[in-house]
Chains A and B, each alone.
Chain A
């Protein structure tokens, strides 16, 4: 059977990954796209962070920045990403290759296209094992078969010799998970791992990830555009909007007392059980064009609470213990005490009295 040994670093409960003020920008012909613009968060050992937001808000670019997989014309222009104290932004290519697929593994949204069509599933997993565990090809293949078994693929030995096109989408995502976990990473980045799958398969994959997380004691960064998906898995949740973190708190708080109007909108749009996924119908309007962002609060054109003060960009400020929100509304959710005609400066003063993170 499987030999999924817990990772060593998981024993202490320190910070595994710390992202500080990350800015990843794309220089395009039409201007600079600030895909990720000043994002900070941290993931403790063995904990799960949910990253939530509509499509285009910068979730994938954040994840790819951590993996240093940003391609031209994109570039990490500022910030620090430290994994157990090591800064990944300044690490050499060789150091990064040693971390990828080893300390940090990543699975992607599209299981149909994320596996190489010309190699067998077993080969693709064994390649990762052989690369990082420095074992023989034969041992690596045995390990690959063990992993396929561990992710619930029946008849793993036969499946290992099959090509991706012979497997369904759900099975392929299981293969991706097997590949990602074959090296016992301390962090798994899962970028919308269930978005492309149908509802019953989604639930199975999430169950599988939960079971493996508990067994492997690894941390997970679970990216999704659906607050419902992270509900039972995440310890902490980061809500992103237009390249920025707009709300950050523990998972229960986001569900019970979301502060930011955007989080409230996301929460209201969670599909009810048995219902088909409706994508964020509750939030009116569209995501702002990244080349033409509004002045002040980036959400103001869609926000039902928008007020004059919102023409000034709100800081990410504490609204409750362990809850940060980038919104001018008071902690109890009403307009700031200074009134709806408050100027930006007065509001900023009011904000300064609260603990301000960024």
Chain B
């Protein structure tokens, strides 16, 4: 297993470099320039020229690409991913600040999603076409149809602006310093709820269909023929098999979760990666956008690896 993981990590290196090149061009091909926001204002053309020189934007494209490709792997240097155009700080420093809130948001939502959607899926499958199954199906369809940003705004309007139960934005009350856990959790409620509702809608469906598939299998009939109780058949014999595709899908969906988090973070001004990235696209902060694309790509590779590892873990037929 360790050898397998090492091999997969080594295989990922050329992919990451490829992504770095493609990302570089995508960002460059986007219309507009980072100095656009200074033009037409009070900033003199000489200053703009200086900025262009400072950030090497006057260099030929191949040179810019080369300097990006050769420096980005040196992540131990704070300036390896360049400096943000907007706040002038090293990109890696900004990322370091923004990743923990995003992980907190994604992680909490993931755990809640699993806790809620797995039992809902089992219930829907075991009691297929019953009233509870139909109610779950209708709710899931509604949840699935709601865009994340719309749901976010709705929850924010109702529970934040109108009822004032939860804060409207941010991760902590203004003017606070240091870590205040209850305050943080209080700020976490609405963004996590938004992400979780959307995720549960999808995952409870996957779980239901996976469980239905397994309940049709011959070995489930064998388990019943042994005289096992229905609970034991469902929770011991069927569930472990039904979780195999779910666990795999879970690894593969990690990147999608990141983009869901980006939308949610923007709605609630949650100080995470997604919020940073959306802001950076608006202000054409190339280094940050580039960093976000890179992180997205790394998440895809990592998600695939996690999926494969989890797969081997839950399915004895898989050996690496």
Contacts and interface: CB of A to CB of B under 8 A. Distances in A.
Interface of A: 67, 69, 97-102, 105-106, 108, 110, 113-119, 127-128, 131-132, 163, 165, 176, 179
A355 to B, nearest CB: 37
Contact of B219 (A98, A115, A132): A115
A1 B155 CA distance: 68
Contacts of B244: 118
Contacts of B221: 69, 108, 114
B60 interface: no
Interface stretch (B116-124, B138-146, B222-230): B222-230
Given A113-B217, A117-B219, A118-B241, A100 B227 contact: yes
A165 B319 CA distance: 12
Interface in B201-242: 217-219, 221-229, 237, 240-241
Nearest to A116: B219
A128 B227 contact: yes
Nearest to B129: A72
B241 A106 contact: no
B317 A179 contact: no
Contacts of B58: none
A108 B315 contact: no
Given A97-B227, A97-B228, A179-B226, A163 B317 contact: yes
A178 B9 CA distance: 44
Given A116-B237, A116-B241, A108 B227 contact: no
A45 B222 CA distance: 24
Interface string B296-320: 0000000000000000001111000
Contact of B218 (A102, A110, A118, A165): A110
8 contacts: A67-B225, A69-B224, A97-B227, A100-B225, A113-B218, A115-B219, A128-B226, A176-B222
| Best-surrounded residue of B226, B240, B316 (most CB of chain A within 10 A) | B226
Interface in B58-116: none
A131 B228 CA distance: 8
A114 B218 contact: yes
Contact of A118 (B222, B229, B315): B315
Given A163-B316, A163-B317, A165-B317, A116 B222 contact: yes
Contacts of B227: 97-102, 128, 131-132
A106 B223 CA distance: 11
A195 to B, nearest CB: 14
Which among A113, A116, A132 has the highest number of chain B CB atoms within 10 Å? A116
Main secondary structure, interface of B, reads helix
A71 to B, nearest CB: 9
B226 A100 contact: yes
Contacts of A179: 226
Contacts of B237: 116, 119
A101 B237 CA distance: 16
Given A115-B219, A117-B315, A165-B316, 7 more contacts: A101-B227, A114-B219, A116-B222, A117-B219, A127-B228, A128-B227, A179-B226
A67 B228 CA distance: 13
Contacts of A106: 225
Contact of A97 (B229, B240, B316): B229
A102 B227 CA distance: 8
A66 to B, nearest CB: 11
Contacts of B217: 113
A101 B219 contact: no
A179 B317 CA distance: 21
A108 B224 contact: no
B30 to A, nearest CB: 48
B225 A101 contact: yes
A170 B314 CA distance: 26
Contacts of A165: 316-317
Contacts of A115: 219, 222
Contact of B316 (A69, A108, A117, A127): A117
Contacts of B316: 117-118, 163, 165
A170 to B, nearest CB: 17
Nearest to A98: B227
Nearest to A163: B316
Contacts of A69: 221, 224-225
Contacts of B229: 97
Nearest to B216: A71
Contacts of B315: 117-118
Contacts of B222: 108, 114-116, 176
Contacts of A128: 226-227
Nearest to B228: A131
A113 B226 contact: no
B312 to A, nearest CB: 12
B219 A127 contact: no
Q: Which 7 A-B pairs have the closest CB atoms?
A: A100-B227, A101-B226, A101-B227, A113-B218, A116-B219, A163-B316, A97-B227
